[in-house]
């Protein structure tokens, strides 16, 4: 189950490997900066979200204007 603090459009390769998905969803603190490798926004299909900010696990949260639960 996806935590509410991560945008529905956030993607990383680990989300496509069932054995690694928990590493993304359970990351906290400094782990959030290093757990995911390459990330992208599935809405824009690039490393930048719809609000022109970088897509990463730490920042794809409810404070962003493009966030969707």
Domain that residue 6 falls in: 1-62
Structural domain tally of the chain?
1
Quick check: is 36 in a domain?
A: yes
Quick check: is 67 in a domain?
A: no
Quick check: is 16 in a domain?
A: yes
Q: What is the DSSP string of 5-59?
A: TS-TTEEEGGGGSTTTHHHHHT--TTHHHHSSSSEEETTTTBSB-TTSSB--TTT
pTM for this entry: 0.84
Dump pLDDT digits (tens) for 19-52: 998 888 888 888 888 888 899 999 999 999 999 9
pLDDT score for 1? 56
Quick check: is 7 in a domain?
A: yes
**What's the token pair of residue 19?**
């054995």
Count of residues in the chain: 69
Quick check: is 34 in a domain?
A: yes
Quick check: is 3 in a domain?
A: yes
Dump pLDDT digits (tens) for 1-19: 566 688 999 999 999 999 9
């Amino acid at each position: 189950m996806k935590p509410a603090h991560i945008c529905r459009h956030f993607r990383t390769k680990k989300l496509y490997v069932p054995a690694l998905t928990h590493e993304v969803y359970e990351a906290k603190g400094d782990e959030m900066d290093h757990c995911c490798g390459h990330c992208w926004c599935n809405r824009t299909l690039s490393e930048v979200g719809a609000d022109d900010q970088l897509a990463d696990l730490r920042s794809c949260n409810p404070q962003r204007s493009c966030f969707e639960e």
